[in-house]
Amino acid sequence: MITEVHESIKVGAIFGDNKKKLKPVWFIWNGTKYTIREITYIWTERVGKTVIHYFTVTEGANFFSISYNTDTLLWILHSIYT
């Protein structure tokens, strides 16, 4: 089942070489911290000058679709797949 969320989240992430690689490692949503076990899919979208990095991640039981907006510096939880 897919649940649409579209809410801001707090994310702990690692920036790689020259800040070109971005890896989320945990996020907090509704007061719960989720440790990301695996990033299953990554894609990037350009909206005007803004770059948005999308990730499908799992903490083991569920899959989450999250994104990082390079213009606003905000992380968004888009949906949960249970």
Residues 14-63 pLDDT 10s: 988 765 689 999 999 999 999 999 999 999 999 999 999 999 999 999 99
Q: Coil, strand, or helix at residue 15?
A: strand
Report the predicted TM-score, pTM, of the whole model to 2 decimal places: 0.91
Question: In the chain, what are the domain boundaries?
Answer: 2-81
Q: What is the pLDDT of residue 28?
A: 98
Return d(Cα 74, Cα 11) in angstroms, integer. 9
The amino acid that residue 42 corresponds to is I
- Across residues 60-71, what is the average pLDDT? 96
